[in-house]
Amino acid sequence: MTSPYELKNHQSAANVVWHHTHCTAVDRARIKQQRPVCIWLTGLSASGKSTLANALEAQLLDLGRHTYLLDGDNVRHGLNKDLGMSDADRAENIRRVGEVARLMNDAGLIAITAFISPFREDRDKVRALFAPGDFFEVFVDTPLAVCEQRDPKGMYRKARAGQISGFTGIDSPYDAPLNAELRIDTQDKSVAQCVEEMLAFLTPRIQG
């Protein structure tokens, strides 16, 4: 699917020449003594993405890592406040976040993102922005029934009552990842246990 945003981009990008900067991503990463990567959390609403992303970032900062967390709800208040919930706008939401995460990497930071990012095609496009081995898709694999029971923001209740339409898992699809680097099962585990699993995976991959 080509979004209206992509069409506009094509037309203007054709006349813009890439300007090479003097300092490189390698220089910026070197002084932070880390390998910048993108940790992309995907999963249903209330699966635990924000909770885990926040706890993971806190642990990484404690370990002296340089990070930046992009969270779905927060980004929609600013950078993406012009976007709604249509399929095209959801795709654009994810495209912009992917580009910002890539800029964060370029700045030497470990980017952590917490977005439902329901469409596989959109996630794959973001993956393609990164060098192989720099993008880790983390599937927060919490069953719909558990998410619905948690319902911390009352969104599922509203979606079931017909007060919200196009809600992922209810009347809008979620494409589960096929090749996620990591799958986290939050159902019978504490937040601390889940973060421990994520850190065990990440630690050898972010060494400078």
**Applying CB under 6 A, which residues contact ligand ADP?**
43, 45-52, 114, 150, 152, 186, 189-191, 194
Q: Which is nearer to ligand ADP, 129 or 146 (CB)?
A: 146
**Distance in Å, CB of 94 to ligand ADP, minimum:** 15
Q: Which of 45, 47, 50, 117 is the catalytic position?
A: 117
Q: Is 117 a catalytic residue?
A: yes
**Closest CB to ligand ADP among residues 34, 67:** 67
C-beta separation of 28 from 105 below 8 A: no
Rounded least distance, CB 200 to ligand ADP, Å = 15
Q: 100 or 191, CB closer to ligand ADP?
A: 191
CA atoms in the 13 A half-sphere facing the CB of 167: 19
Would you give the end-to-end CA distance of the chain in angstroms? 38
Q: What is the dihedral of CA 180, 106, 91, 185, to 10 degrees?
A: 30
The nearer residue to ligand ADP, 35 or 150, going by C-beta atoms, is: 150
> What's the CA gap between 45 and 31, in Å, rounded?
37
Please state the closest distance from residue 39 (CB atom) to ligand ADP, in A. 14
Ramachandran assignment for 154, one of left (phi > 0), alpha (psi -120 to 50 degrees), beta (any other): left
Rounded least distance, CB 48 to ligand ADP, Å? 3
Q: Judge residue 16's burial from the number of C-beta atoms within 10 Å of its C-beta, 0-12 exposed, 13-18 middle, 19 or more buried.
A: exposed
Q: Which positions are annotated as active-site residues?
A: 117
